[in-house]
Each structure stands twice: as C-alpha cells, then as structure tokens.
C-alpha cells in the first residue's frame, strides 16, 4: 500500500517543520508551492518533501497539481498551516483501504477557543445544509483533510481550481454513488492568517466558487470506484 499526502502551500514557512514531522513513516509528502515568498519551498525540500511548483494561484490549483504529481494508490489532502495533524491520517485511510468507504473526510472539532472563528463555522454549517439539499449527504463539515484512492479521484474530472475544489470533490463523489464518511479530528489554531476566510475578499470568493459548484447539474451515469 502506497500513500501520498498532498499539502497545498502558500507562505507556510513557520508551520512546515511541524507539519512534515507529523507525516506517517513511509508516506510521501508532496508540498505544492503556490507562489510562496517566504522560502516555504526550500524549507520543504530541505525537510525531505517532494516539492511541486504550481504557478496558477488557487487552492484547487495547488491541490490538483499535487494529485497529478502523486503516484500512490491512496492520496490524502491536508492543510499546511498546522491547524490539522497529518499524524491522524491513518485513521481516515483505514476505512478506504478496507473498502468500507470511498472518501473519508476529517470533521473539524475546535481544540481551543478561537481555533475556528464563528463566522467560518456558520458558513460551513450553511454550506453543509446546501450540500445535503443538492446530494442527500448528511455531512457536518467539509474540511480539507480527506483520503481517497488516486485513480478514483482522477476519474471525478475535477475542474474547479479555486476555493470550490474541496466541495466539488464531495459533490461529484456523491453524484457517482461514493460512500462518503466523516471522522472527528481536532482543529488547532492555524499558523499565520487564513488566505480564504481570513479576509472579506477571500470569503466572498470562496462563497462564489462554492455556489457555482452547487449549481452544477448531476451527471448521468457514474458509479462507485
């Protein structure tokens, strides 16, 4: 069994040492540098990670570049800001590897007060309700920590390259009949400022991207990986 961990990265020099130290032994870390100016790419390479450079700005662009660079049977995604512990990924992988789930998401549970701002939690809750209306999935979070088989993910034909990428993955997985599950994971105070919900512009762009994804019609056909 081979596993790659895709870590989208934009100016995460402070968090990278902790994040990469938590990657499970024998797994490959793929740090996708999305235009950092703080030396993140050099730090990641020095710590033994595979570094991929993605010039097109956008969370989805970075995630998909990592997926395309992966050669493992299973691919994990995790934020690179130290808000999520990659050491917990084996717990998410287990259900996929054993065949009881096709996509497993980490449901974020704030570990400390202020780790997850109220406006961000409220937006996530509203999005979860819209997702249920669109797909029938009863998820409580659409967090960035997740695990699936690489070939199956490529088969979803993901096209969003901005903030809608994680949502599009879940929507298209649901449309294809995938078994999607959640596992609780602690959500820690992130290192640095959020590039999405940390600014009004970022929040507005994320809402716009995700609404576009939810408006996509369900395809005909499909099926479980």
Q: What is the pLDDT along the chain (225 residues), one digit of tens a residue?
A: 999 999 999 999 999 999 999 999 999 999 999 999 999 999 999 999 999 999 999 999 999 999 999 999 999 999 999 999 999 999 999 999 999 999 999 999 888 776 666 666 667 777 888 888 899 999 988 889 999 999 999 999 999 998 889 999 999 999 999 999 999 999 998 776 655 555 555 565 666 677 778 887 776 555 677
Closest CA to 199 of 120, 144, 132, 102: 120
CB 82 within 8 A of CB 160: no
What's 87's DSSP letter?
G
């Amino acid at each position: 069994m081979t596993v790659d961990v895709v870590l989208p990265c934009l100016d995460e020099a402070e968090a990278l040492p902790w994040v990469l130290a938590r990657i499970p032994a024998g797994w490959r870390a793929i740090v996708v540098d999305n235009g950092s100016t703080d030396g993140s790419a050099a730090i990641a390479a020095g710590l033994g990670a595979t570094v991929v450079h993605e010039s097109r700005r956008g969370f989805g662009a970075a995630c998909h570049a990592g997926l395309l660079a992966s050669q493992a049977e299973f691919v994990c995604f995790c934020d690179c800001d130290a808000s999520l512990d990659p050491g917990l990924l084996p717990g998410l992988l287990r259900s996929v590897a054993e065949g009881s789930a096709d996509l497993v998401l980490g449901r974020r549970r704030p570990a400390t007060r202020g780790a997850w701002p109220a406006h961000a939690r409220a937006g996530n809750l509203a999005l979860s309700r819209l997702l249920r209306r669109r797909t029938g999935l009863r998820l409580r979070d659409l967090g960035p920590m997740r695990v699936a088989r690489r070939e199956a993910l490529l088969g979803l034909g993901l096209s969003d390259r901005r903030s809608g990428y994680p949502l599009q993955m879940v929507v298209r997985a649901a449309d294809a009949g995938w078994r999607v599950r959640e596992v609780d994971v602690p959500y820690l105070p992130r290192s640095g400022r959020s590039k999405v919900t940390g600014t009004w512009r970022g929040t507005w762009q994320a809402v716009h991207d995700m609404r576009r994804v939810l408006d996509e019609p369900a395809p005909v056909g499909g099926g479980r990986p």
